[in-house]
Amino acid sequence: MLRALYDRIIALSAHPRAPTLLGVVSFAESSVFPIPPDAMLVPMCLARPERAYGYALICTVASVLGGLLGYAIGALFFEAVALPVLSAYGHADALATFTGWFERWGAAVILIKGLTPIPYKIVTIASGAAHFSLVVFFVCSVITRGARFFLLAFLLRRYGPPAREFIERRLNLIAGLTALAVIGGFLALRFV
């Protein structure tokens, strides 16, 4: 079933209303939808490289707005909505882990997890459930989601199909290196 949904999302990337659909998928993925917007973003950027940054902007804005919905679900509707959503995706135990991480590392958790393949909906719902600062959550979400989508758009625009193959094979490595760069930047700022 998940594979069929993934294939349908890829097919939608060729639709005339693909930018709008990209926004809808990006918004929904941040709180309840299982397929990341990359499934549409990649083929759209490859088909229209001159629009890659516009597509990345759509993903960023919609993902952050969807993240605010995820935050609200975690903060206001934890028992009724958040637990069933997390349970449906097999991530019910992740909340306790994330809550502990928020207490220990704060904003760094959002910055790091927003770049990785870990479903962003877990970060958004857990942030709300932990009553993490909404302003800090929002700023970190803009930074991390923007970095992720614009980096992907840059690579696809610059290198085309070979970049797609490289990214798909090494997604965890790329996300991990980007997360390390973000952490390094914060540590450098802290000691300056």
Report DSSP letters for 7-66, one per residue.
HHHHHHTTSTTHHHHHHHHHHHHTTT-SS-THHHHHHHHHH-GGGHHHHHHHHHHHHHHH
Which pLDDT value is given to residue 185?
Answer: 52
**Least confident piece of the model among 18-22, 44-48, 88-92, 168-172:** 168-172
Which pLDDT value is given to residue 171?
Answer: 56
Which pLDDT value is given to residue 159?
Answer: 84
**Least confident piece of the model among 59-63, 154-158, 169-173:** 169-173
Which pLDDT value is given to residue 36?
Answer: 81
143 half-sphere exposure, CB direction, 13 A CA radius? 20
The 10s digit of each residue's pLDDT in 60-103 is: 999 999 999 999 998 998 878 877 877 776 766 766 777 777 77
Which pLDDT value is given to residue 189?
Answer: 43
The 10s digit of each residue's pLDDT in 5-19 is: 556 666 777 778 889
- What b/e readout covers 143-161, taking b as 16+ CB neighbours within 10 angstroms? bbbbbbbbbbbebbbeeee
Which pLDDT value is given to residue 62?
Answer: 97
Asked if residue 116 has pLDDT above 50, the reply is yes
For the chain, the average pLDDT equals 78
The residue type at 139: V
pLDDT band at 118 (very low <50, low <70, confident <90, very high): low
Q: What would the mean pLDDT of 145-169 be, rounded to a whole number?
A: 81
